[in-house]
C-alpha cells in the first residue's frame, strides 16, 4: 500500500537526510500533560500515543497510534511569521505558502489547505465544517477536511484546530483513512484537542 499521510509522504525524503540515526519512537503515556513541539503548547491525552523523535520542522512533532499511514497527529507550536507548515523540500518547483502573523483565523484554514495541497501535490482536497473554538482561552478555529492523493485512491479524513497567539501559529491536525481508522480515533482526538493549552 502506498503511504500518503500529510507529513509522512510530503516530507519523508528530506527528513531521512536530516534525521539523526537514533531517531525513533517514544511512548506518550495517558493522563499526563505533555509539552509539544518545543513550545508552550500542552495536551493531556486520555490514551497512549507514540511520539516520533524526529521533527518535520523545528517547531513541530508527530504522534501516531498505529503508524503514520493509518493515523497521524501533527503538532505545530509557535510557527513564526514567514515559516512554512511543512518542510519546504521543493522550494523552486512547488514552494509552500508562508505563514503571516497578520492572518485571521479563516486565513489559517486556507493556509493549511494550500500547504497540504502543495506538499502532497494533489488537487483533491476539500475543507468541511469550519467553526470558532478556543485553545487554552485563546480564540481558535476547528475544521474538518478530506483529501485523496492522486495515484493512491485511498480517501482520508481529518480534523484540525488552530490559534494565533502572540503573532505565532499553534495548530494540531489529525488525519487517517476514512475507512475504519478515522471513525475509530476521531472522538479520542477531539477529546485531546479540548485539552490544548498555550
Q: What is the pLDDT of residues 91-123, one digit of tens each?
A: 777 899 999 999 999 999 999 999 999 998 888
- Please tell me the distance from the alpha carbon of residue 105 to that of residue 14, in angstroms, as a whole number: 29
pLDDT of residue 29: 93
pLDDT of residue 1: 38
Joined together, the cell numbers standing for residue 30 give 495517558
Backbone angles phi, psi at 21, to 5 degrees: -60, -25
Q: Give the tens place of pLDDT for each residue, 41-96.
A: 999 999 999 999 999 999 999 999 999 999 999 999 999 999 999 998 777 778 99
Give the predicted TM-score (pTM) of the model.
Answer: 0.88
- The band of 128, judged by pLDDT with boundaries at 50, 70 and 90, is very high
Identify the bridge partners of residue 142 per DSSP, sorted by sequence position: 131, 161
- Is pLDDT at 18 greater than 90 in this prediction? no
Residues 6 or more apart in contact with residue 174 via CB below 8 angstroms: 71, 72, 73, 74, 158, 159, 160, 185, 186, 189
Q: What percent of the chain has pLDDT over 90?
A: 79
Question: Is residue 163 within a helix (H) or strand (E), and if so which, with residue range?
Answer: strand 156-165
- The angle at the Cα of 162, spanning 149 to 195, to the nearest 5 degrees, equals 110
pLDDT of residue 150: 79
Amino acid at each position: 500500500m502506498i503511504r500518503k499521510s500529510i507529513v509522512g509522504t510530503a516530507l519523508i525524503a528530506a527528513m531521512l537526510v536530516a534525521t539523526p540515526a537514533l531517531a525513533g519512537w517514544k511512548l506518550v503515556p495517558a493522563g499526563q500533560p505533555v509539552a509539544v513541539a518545543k513550545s508552550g503548547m500542552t495536551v493531556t491525552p486520555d490514551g497512549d500515543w507514540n511520539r516520533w523523535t524526529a521533527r518535520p520542522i523545528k517547531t513541530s512533532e508527530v504522534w501516531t497510534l498505529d503508524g503514520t499511514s493509518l493515523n497521524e497527529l501533527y503538532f505545530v507550536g509557535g510557527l513564526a511569521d514567514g515559516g512554512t507548515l511543512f518542510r519546504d523540500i521543493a522550494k523552486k518547483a512547488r514552494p509552500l505558502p508562508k505563514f503571516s502573523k497578520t492572518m485571521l483565523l479563516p486565513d489559517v484554514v486556507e493556509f493549511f489547505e494550500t500547504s497540504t495541497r502543495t506538499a502532497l501535490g494533489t488537487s483533491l482536497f476539500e475543507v468541511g465544517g469550519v467553526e470558532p473554538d478556543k485553545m487554552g482561552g485563546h480564540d481558535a478555529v476547528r475544521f474538518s477536511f478530506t483529501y485523496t492523493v492522486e495515484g493512491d485512491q485511498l480517501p482520508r479524513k481529518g480534523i484540525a484546530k488552530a490559534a494565533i497567539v502572540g503573532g505565532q501559529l499553534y495548530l494540531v491536525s489529525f488525519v487517517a483513512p476514512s475507512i475504519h481508522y478515522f471513525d475509530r480515533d476521531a472522538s479520542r482526538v477531539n477529546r485531546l484537542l479540548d485539552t490544548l493549552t498555550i
